[in-house]
């Protein structure tokens, strides 16, 4: 009988322990920054630097490129290729769907170096050194504007993934990318009418398989609803966790039911054109309530060693219509 009491006591202790706010059911084994704290930190950063995220372009036609689940380790060939493809095609921005690196400090050093190199190549392509001040750069398309290196934003926008969080990975991830919950507009001027219009890019923190209460409250408060008075042509959402499962044999976790329905409803409310997801390492394309959902395959060397169509490029045209296409990656993973 005493054994029974021990079992009951142990079970109750385990339940109380794991239902605490700060402890995940496996938190004893793997600790990390919970979604509530990540969103609070991200939102503070977003509020502070909101205006710097805004992208204004003279033209009303542009492309952007999306990839995900790169799981960068010591062989960063695919990530390097994605950055090169975007620069070569004059894509306006990059979006990454999370699990950007496997969580080790050395992998994040590799990633950080890659992005710094890409930023230099980006500046080299779109900027000139300021003739009056060698520490500054002027836009080739608008030489009146002069910026310090640190003031130039390399247009690489990721969401955080579950693999970015293990072993306190948030500290590494947020040190480079700062915010996992943000939105920004791409403001365009209609070529024919001269009217100012915008497309909206929303990045959600879904790395934990749930949005968390703080993020849901902020969304319900309209934090991501954009600026008043701007007509949004398109809204694009980026989430690590996928909404739809590609097949019965995909056991990667999706959102719980209530959250699935909350999100599907919210995407309709935002009048989304495309929602991009990752996480499950399998391609899936479907439409629900007029919203296109694209779940991208993993572009990582380990999961997809052979060349393949791992990226997606979206083309937003001057008449407001959009098309998307898969983009081939040629890099073959190094043999170990």
Binding site for another protein (CB under 8 A): 2-4, 6-12, 14-15, 18-19, 21, 24-26, 30, 32, 34-35, 162-163, 165-166, 207-213, 216, 241, 244-248, 250-259, 261-262, 264-265, 268, 286, 288-290
190: left (phi over 0), alpha (psi -120 to 50) or beta: beta
CA distances from 297 to 60, 64, 260, 301, 331 (A): 30, 17, 21, 12, 15
Pairing of β 136-139 and β 127-129: antiparallel
Question: Based on CB atoms, which residue is closest to another protein, 9 or 84?
Answer: 9
CB of 309 to another protein, least distance (A): 22
* Residue 43: CB minimum distance to another protein, A: 17
- DSSP annotation of 331 reads -
The dihedral of CA 181, 294, 114, 187: what is its sign?
negative
Q: How far is the CB of 23 from another protein (least distance, A)?
A: 8
Nearer to another protein, 149 or 288 (CB): 288
- Spatial contact of 290 and 274, defined as CB atoms under 8 Å apart: no
Measured between alpha carbons, how far is 215 from 232 in angstroms, rounded to an integer?
Answer: 22
Shortest Å, Cβ 16 to another protein:
9
Closest approach of another protein to the CB of residue 99, in Å: 10
Write down the least CB distance from residue 311 to another protein, Å.
Answer: 24
In terms of CB distance, is 86 or 169 closer to another protein? 169
10 vs 44, beta carbon nearer another protein:
10
Nearer to another protein, 18 or 323 (CB): 18
CB nearer another protein, residue 111 or residue 291: 291
């Amino acid at each position: 009988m005493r054994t029974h009491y021990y079992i009951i006591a142990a079970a109750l202790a385990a339940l109380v322990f794991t239902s605490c706010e700060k402890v995940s059911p496996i938190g004893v084994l793997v600790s990390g920054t919970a979604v509530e704290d990540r969103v609070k930190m991200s939102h503070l950063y977003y509020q502070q630097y909101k205006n710097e995220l805004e992208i204004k372009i003279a033209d009303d036609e542009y492309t952007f490129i999306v990839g995900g689940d790169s799981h960068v380790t010591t062989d960063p060939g695919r990530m390097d290729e994605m950055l090169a493809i975007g620069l070569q095609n004059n894509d306006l921005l990059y979006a990454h769907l999370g699990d950007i690196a496997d969580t080790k400090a050395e992998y994040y050093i590799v990633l950080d170096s890659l992005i710094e190199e890409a930023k230099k190549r980006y500046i080299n392509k779109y900027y000139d050194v300021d003739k009056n001040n060698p520490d500054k750069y002027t836009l080739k398309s608008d030489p009146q504007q002069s910026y310090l290196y640190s003031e130039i934003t390399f247009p690489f926008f990721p969401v955080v993934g579950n693999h970015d969080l293990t072993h306190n990975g948030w500290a590494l991830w947020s040190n480079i990318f700062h915010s996992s919950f943000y939105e920004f507009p791409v403001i365009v001027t209609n070529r024919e009418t001269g009217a100012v219009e915008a497309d909206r890019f929303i990045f959600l923190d879904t790395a934990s398989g749930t949005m968390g209460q703080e993020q849901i409250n902020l969304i319900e408060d309209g934090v991501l609803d954009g600026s008043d008075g701007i007509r949004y042509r398109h809204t694009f959402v980026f989430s690590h966790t996928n909404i739809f499962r590609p097949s019965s044999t995909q056991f990667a976790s999706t959102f719980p039911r209530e959250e699935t329905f909350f999100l599907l409803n919210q995407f309709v409310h935002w009048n989304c054109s495309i929602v991009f997801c990752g996480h499950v390492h399998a391609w899936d394309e479907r439409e629900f309530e007029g919203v296109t959902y694209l779940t991208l395959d993993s572009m990582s060397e380990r999961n997809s060693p052979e060349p393949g169509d791992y990226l997606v490029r979206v083309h937003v045209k001057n008449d407001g219509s959009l098309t998307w296409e898969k983009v081939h990656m040629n890099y073959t993973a190094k043999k170990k």
